[in-house]
């Protein structure tokens, strides 16, 4: 088992005819992901040939057609920011159950409406502004370099993109592998939080250790820490919080500080996570080592 | 994007919110003429406010009262063309290029009101306090019971009962309570109309005649939404921003100047912060935060490289790239292109991993560029710290 994506995942790529969409469709197919359709409004009827592991990927004008004709159950979005919120809404409306939005730069006020609608439709949104989801050896629905991953029992959840690759790479170099890696995205308003993904990892028998990669700003790490503590999370968690040496970011006036009330700094996050029993590493080059030590101490190494 | 107080007030006034009568001026003479026009409307006394992108102006002497147009001119002369140093500007201060000349008003009470998004609730909220004017963050820390909030469940509107509840909790009554409700509704409308990240009024003041007035206002706009607001995009004052940061923003790079001597170029904000963390862990100090982003083009990478090399404090450079959307071959092409144009006067450590890494490494190796390769972050950090100290090669 894994979470969110597996061998039954059938992907529709929204924005498939764009440069990034096309490149990463090819990368996902090469990894073995079933990309069954693409959507680009106005380009319906085309079939993209010369792609690996497929006879061709049909392009539709709407997500609804991709779901009806090709059985797509997961969407991967590369649509440019001004149109991306609309693309997410369309995917949720078409009944896609997992929506992964890579696009960066969607206005947060647009996302407020989007997350409400997605939730109402019972779909799960990952991102935006994220690297996507990969269950190594089964499916890659995102832009992460597949070759650094390896099937295993470490679940990875992260607000970052490239820092996630760094962590995964270190875990793989230690001879361990990953059950599923989820980049939840770095934007202020995202579809799934650390807590949402921790809940999925809790119920996934394949995941034995969770790695959580946080960063300064917001309170998602503090909320994750509270969840781990209050629910006596049954699996060991290793964490890193980026930005321990970063200067205070751009101020959101006084109001931002009032909402945070002292939370949000790297120090506060590290403290909350440690208080919840999480093994927090200070050196980002030692994430893999920390996971390896935990695995060995449990006799899994 | 930050804008000036006078611009914030203009945007809010346009929606019918009550702002003081006033004009912006960029010379002492213009300030006097503005005051004369206000005097002709019956304004008896004035306030001259320095317009810079930083708070804390009052205590720093950037907001002064003047009783006559001549006094306004003198105050404007004292403020304009000089740096104003506040706790938020840094020790070098910010050059005052404009002043806002406003009517002086008789204040009986000062309140605080703000609209912004609460990330964990995923809803906009309105924050309000009867303890406005003073250091509101201190109020929040010491007397959190003096801060009230309403969650906008319907996202783009505050229900009348919510506005009323806020006003009542703040001790407002009668015409002031009704007026407060209208103002809060207007601020929520402005928040959405302008795609703002923050609308903050501090203070909102009550006058002797019971009117309420937005005495100071701050609107922070969302850069990502400016594409649909060309009129708002034009409010950007690039003179208020760090020149290298402006250049970076033009190339769609995220760059923040810091005070160390190790230049960094990294893809992704998280990895960029982690790279800064590990430089510090290895005993060095980063000169900047520079995120070339997920989908950087060779041109953007080249521009990033030029920005790094333009900083005279940089003694060594660490390029740390883990390719995903940004393919290592593109990055390598960008570096090679830039290094041919810009003289590379400092040692460089490059660490590449990820998509198309072999191709990227080949491009770099065949370029003839002089750099050190590191195989992981820790090695990269140790090497660059040593190089910045002038050791090794």
A255-292 pLDDT, tens digit per residue, is 776 667 777 888 999 999 999 999 999 999 999 999 99
Which of A112, A158, A160 lies closest to B123 in CB terms?
A112
- Of A113, A131, A160, which has the smallest distance from its Cβ to B155's Cβ? A113
Q: Please give the average per-residue pLDDT across B247-275, as a whole number.
A: 88
Residues B249 and B371 in one domain: yes
* CATH code of residue B272: 3.40.50.261
Preferred mutation among B114, B270, B385 to probe A, highest tally of A CBs within 10 A: B270
| Same domain (yes/no): B200, B74 | no
Task: Work out the average pLDDT over A40-50.
Answer: 95
Q: CB-side exposure of A141: number of CA atoms within 13 Å?
A: 35
Confidence of residue B133 (pLDDT cuts 50, 70, 90): confident
Mean pLDDT is lowest, of A67-71, B274-278, B334-338, for: B334-338
**SS3 letters for B75-138?**
HHHHHCCCEECCCCCCCCCEECCCEEEEECCCEEEEEEEEEEEECCCCEEEEEEECCCCCCHHH
Task: Enumerate residues 6+ apart whose C-beta is below 8 A from A147.
Answer: none
Q: Is B366 part of any domain?
A: yes
Are A167 and A126 in contact by the 8 Å Cβ rule? The answer is no
pLDDT bin (cut points 50, 70, 90) of residue B128 is very high
Query: For residue A245, what are the contacts with CB-CB under 8 A and spacing of at least 6?
Result: B273, B276, B277, B279, B280, B286
A158 to chain B: nearest residue by CA?
Answer: B270
Look up B92 and say whether it is catalytic.
no
Looking at the structure, do residues B112 and B206 belong to the same domain, yes or no?
Answer: yes
Q: How far is B220 from chain A (nearest CA, A)?
A: 8
Same domain, B232 and B207: yes
pLDDT at B61: 94
Q: Tell me if B118 and A259 make a contact (CB, 8 A cut-off).
A: yes
Residue B323 sits in which domain range?
242-388
Q: Are B123 and B92 in contact (CB under 8 A)?
A: no
Does B297 contact A at CB distance below 8 Å? no
Q: How many helices (H) and strands (E) does chain A have?
A: 10, 14
Q: Confirm whether B337 is domain-assigned.
A: yes
Best probe of the A interface among B87, B245, B269, by most A CBs < 10 A, is: B269
B114 and A255 in contact by Cβ < 8 A? yes
Last residue of a domain, one of B240, B263, B297: B240
Last residue of a domain, one of B201, B217, B240: B240
Confidence (pLDDT) at A92: 98
Query: pLDDT for B160-178, tens place per residue?
Result: 999 999 999 999 999 999 9
pLDDT of residue B179: 96
B148 near B166, Cβ under 8 Å?
yes
Summary mean pLDDT of chain A: 94
A256 with B198: Cβ contact below 8 A: yes
Alpha helix segments (H runs only) across chain B: 5-14, 28-40, 69-79, 136-142, 160-169, 174-193, 230-233, 243-250, 269-281, 298-310, 328-341, 357-366, 377-388
B307 in Cβ contact with B255 (< 8 Å) = yes
Q: Average pLDDT, stretch B66-86?
A: 96
Q: Please identify among residues 209-228 of chain B the ones whose CB lies closer than 8 Å to any CB of chain A.
A: 218, 220, 222, 224-225, 227-228
The confidence score (pLDDT) of residue A251 equals 52
Report the C-alpha gap between B204 and B18 in whole angstroms.
10
Residue B295 has pLDDT above 80, yes or no: no
pLDDT on residue B393: 44
Asked whether the predicted pLDDT for residue B107 surpasses 70, the reply is: yes
CATH of the domain at B222: 3.30.470.20
When the pLDDT of each residue in chain B is averaged and rounded to a whole number, the result is 92
Q: Is residue A116 pLDDT above 60, yes or no?
A: yes
Q: Do A143 and B277 touch (CB under 8 A)?
A: no
Q: What does the pLDDT look like over B18-47, one tens digit per residue?
A: 999 999 999 999 999 999 999 999 999 999
SS3 A171: helix
Percentage of chain A beyond pLDDT 90 is 86
Domain boundary among B63, B87, B104: B104
pTM over 0.90: yes
- Tell me whether residue B103 is one of the annotated catalytic residues: no
Same domain (yes/no): B317, B211: no
pLDDT, tens digit, 9 for 90 and up, residues B176-190: 999 999 999 999 999
pLDDT of B335 reads 85
B393 belongs to a structural domain:
no
Minimal C-alpha gap between B232 and chain A (Å): 15
Higher confidence at residue B369 or residue A13? A13
pLDDT surpassing 50 at residue A152: yes
Q: Given a cut of 70, is residue A253 above it in pLDDT?
A: no
Q: What is the per-residue pLDDT for A262?
A: 72
Residues B222 and B269 in one domain: no
| Percent of chain A topping pLDDT 70 | 96
pLDDT of residue A221: 96
Catalytic residue among B5, B103, B179, B200: B200
Instruction: State how many domains chain B has.
Output: 3
Asked if A195 reaches chain B (Cβ–Cβ under 8 Å), the answer is: no
How many CB atoms are closer than 10 A to CB A229?
15
In order of their start, the domains of chain A are 10-126 (3.40.50.720), 132-297 (3.40.50.261)
User: What's CA B98's distance to the chain center, in Å?
Assistant: 18
Look at residue B278 and tell me if it is in a domain.
Answer: yes
> Do B279 and B327 sit in the same domain of this protein?
yes
Q: Binning pLDDT at 50, 70 and 90, where does residue A177 land?
A: very high
Question: Do residues B247 and B204 both lie within one domain?
Answer: no
Looking at residue B135, its pLDDT comes to: 78
Tokens 């909320």 locate to: A223
- 8 A C-beta contact, residue A111 and residue A136: no
B1 lies in the same domain as B12: yes
- Residue B390, pLDDT score: 83
**Domain shared by B3 and B83, yes or no:** no
CATH code: domain of residue B85? 3.30.1490.20
In a shared domain, residues B10 and B50: no
Residues 73-132 of A with CB under 8 A from B: 81-82, 102, 104-110, 112-113, 115-116, 131
Residues B167 and B92 in one domain: no
């Amino acid at each position: 088992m894994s979470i969110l994506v597996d061998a039954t995942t059938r992907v529709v790529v929204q924005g498939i005819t764009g440069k990034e969409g096309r490149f990463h469709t090819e990368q996902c197919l090469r990894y073995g992901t079933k990309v069954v359709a693409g959507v680009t409004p106005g380009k319906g009827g085309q079939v993209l040939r010369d792609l690996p592991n497929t006879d061709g990927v049909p392009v539709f004008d709407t997500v609804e057609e991709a779901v009806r004709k090709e059985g797509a159950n997961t969407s991967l979005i590369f649509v440019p920011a001004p149109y991306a919120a609309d693309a997410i809404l369309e995917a949720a409306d078409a009944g896609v159950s997992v929506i992964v939005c890579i696009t960066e730069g969607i206005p947060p006020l647009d996302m407020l409406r989007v997350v409400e609608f997605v939730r109402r439709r019972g779909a799960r949104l990952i991102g935006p502004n994220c690297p996507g989801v990969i269950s190594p050896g089964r499916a890659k629905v995102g832009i992460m370099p597949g070759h650094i991953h390896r099937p295993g029992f470490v679940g990875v959840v992260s607000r970052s993109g490239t820092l996630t690759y760094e962590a995964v790479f270190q875990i793989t170099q230690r001879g361990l592998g990953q059950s599923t890696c989820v980049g939840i995205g770095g934007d202020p308003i995202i579809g799934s939080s650390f807590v949402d993904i921790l809940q999925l990892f809790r119920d996934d028998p394949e995941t034995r250790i969770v790695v959580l990669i946080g960063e300064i700003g917001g309170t998602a790490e503090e909320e994750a820490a509270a969840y781990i503590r209050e629910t006596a999370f049954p699996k060991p968690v290793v964490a890193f919080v980026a930005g321990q040496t970063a200067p205070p970011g751009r101020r959101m006036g006084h109001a931002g500080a009032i909402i945070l009330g002292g939370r949000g700094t790297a120090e506060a996050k590290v403290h909350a996570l440690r208080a919840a029993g999480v093994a927090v590493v200070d050196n980002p080059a030692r994430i893999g080592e920390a996971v390896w030590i935990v695995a060995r101490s449990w006799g899994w190494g | 994007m930050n804008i000036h107080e006078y611009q914030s007030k203009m945007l809010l006034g346009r929606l019918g919110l009550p702002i003081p009568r006033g004009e912006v001026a960029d010379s002492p003479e213009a300030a006097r003429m503005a005051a004369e026009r206000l005097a002709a409307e019956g304004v008896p006394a004035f306030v001259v406010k320095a317009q810079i992108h930083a708070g804390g102006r009052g205590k720093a002497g950037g907001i002064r009262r003047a009783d006559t147009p001549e006094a306004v001119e003198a105050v404007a002369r004292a403020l304009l063309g000089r740096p104003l140093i506040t706790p938020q500007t840094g020790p070098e201060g910010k050059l005052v290029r404009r002043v806002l000349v406003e009517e002086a008003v008789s204040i009986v009470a000062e309140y605080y009101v703000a609209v912004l998004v609460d990330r964990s609730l995923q809803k906009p909220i309105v924050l309000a306090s009867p303890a406005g004017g003073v250091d509101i963050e201190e109020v929040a820390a010491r007397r959190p019971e003096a801060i009230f909030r309403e969650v906008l469940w319907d996202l783009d509107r505050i229900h009348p009962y919510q506005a009323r509840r806020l006003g009542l909790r703040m001790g407002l009554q009668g015409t002031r309570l009704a007026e407060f409700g209208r103002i809060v509704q207007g601020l929520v409308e402005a928040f959405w109309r302008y795609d703002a990240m923050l609308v903050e009024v501090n203070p909102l003041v009550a006058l002797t005649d019971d009117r309420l007035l937005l005495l100071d206002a701050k609107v922070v706009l969302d850069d990502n939404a400016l594409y649909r607001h060309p009129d708002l995009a034009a409010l950007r004052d690039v003179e208020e921003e760090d020149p290298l940061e402006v250049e970076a923003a033009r190339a769609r790079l995220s760059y923040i100047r810091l005070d160390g001597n190790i230049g960094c170029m990294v893809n992704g904000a998280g990895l960029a912060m982690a790279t800064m963390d590990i430089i510090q862990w290895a005993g060095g100090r980063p000169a900047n935060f520079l995120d070339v982003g997920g989908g950087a083009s060779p041109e953007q990478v080249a521009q990033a490289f030029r920005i790094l090399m333009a900083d005279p404090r940089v003694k060594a450079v660490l390029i740390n790239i883990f390719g995903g959307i940004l393919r290592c071959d593109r990055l390598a092409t960008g570096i090679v292109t830039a290094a041919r144009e810009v003289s590379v006067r400092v040692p460089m450590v490059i660490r590449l991993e990820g998509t198309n890494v072999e191709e990227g490494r080949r491009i770099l190796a065949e370029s003839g560029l002089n750099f050190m390769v590191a195989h992981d972050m820790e090695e990269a950090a140790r090497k660059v710290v040593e190089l910045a100290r002038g050791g090794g090669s």
